[in-house]
Amino acid sequence: MLDQKIEELLRYASRHELVGSRITCNPPPVDTDQDVLVYVDAERANQFVFEMENIGFVVELGEGYAADALNSEESDRFQSYRLDDVNLIVTVDEKFYKRFAFATAQAKRANLLDKAERIALFQAVLYGNIE
């Protein structure tokens, strides 16, 4: 369950859905973040980021993350934002959004409880990495 401020924020998004191990695993783990996949039209990305930061989300810039992911013409890009235990996975690439949602549905259908198996599935669906 997402808090009301986050639910209101998500009204600015074109699409969004719950993803991650809380959704794909049965039984769901209780000690993980609540992940939300978010698609925002490129024209609204800056405003969406502004609204996220206003309620306290901070960008996560780990290895492999690009600070300008939402301002890029490149496909397959996303940016992760965190507030407490909520992680927003935000993209302006609709095809990436659809592939991520598809991978989530497949992980849920197969009830992939092993994290390494879920990562392998997502790598294959999102980026064609099948090693």
**What residue segments make up the domains of the chain, in order of their start?**
4-127
* Model confidence band, residue 78 (pLDDT cutoffs 50, 70, 90): confident
User: What is the secondary structure of 102-127 as a DSSP string?
Assistant: HHHHHHHHHT--SHHHHHHHHHHHHH
Pairing assessment for the beta strands 34-39 and 86-91 based on DSSP bridges: parallel
The 8-class DSSP code of residue 12 comes to G
Tokens of 57: 């989300």
Calculate the alpha carbon distances from 99 to 27, 106, 124 in Å: 24, 10, 10
98 pLDDT above the threshold of 80: yes
3-state helix, strand, coil in the chain (%, to 5): 45, 20, 35
* Model confidence band, residue 70 (pLDDT cutoffs 50, 70, 90): low
- Look at residue 106 in the predicted model and tell me its pLDDT: 98
Q: What is the tens place of the pLDDT at every residue in 100-128?
A: 999 999 999 999 999 999 999 999 999 89
- Look at residue 76 in the predicted model and tell me its pLDDT: 64
- Rounded Cα gap, residues 122 and 107, in angstroms: 9
Q: What is the tens place of the pLDDT at every residue in 9-63?
A: 999 999 999 999 999 999 999 899 999 999 999 899 889 999 999 999 998 875 5
What's at 59, amino acid-wise?
V
- CATH topology classification for 4-127: Beta Polymerase; domain 2 (3.30.460)
What strands, in cross-sheet order, belong to the sheet with 34-39? 15-19, 34-39, 86-91, 79-83, 58-59
- Look at residue 48 in the predicted model and tell me its pLDDT: 92
Reduce the DSSP state of residue 39 to 3 states and report it: strand
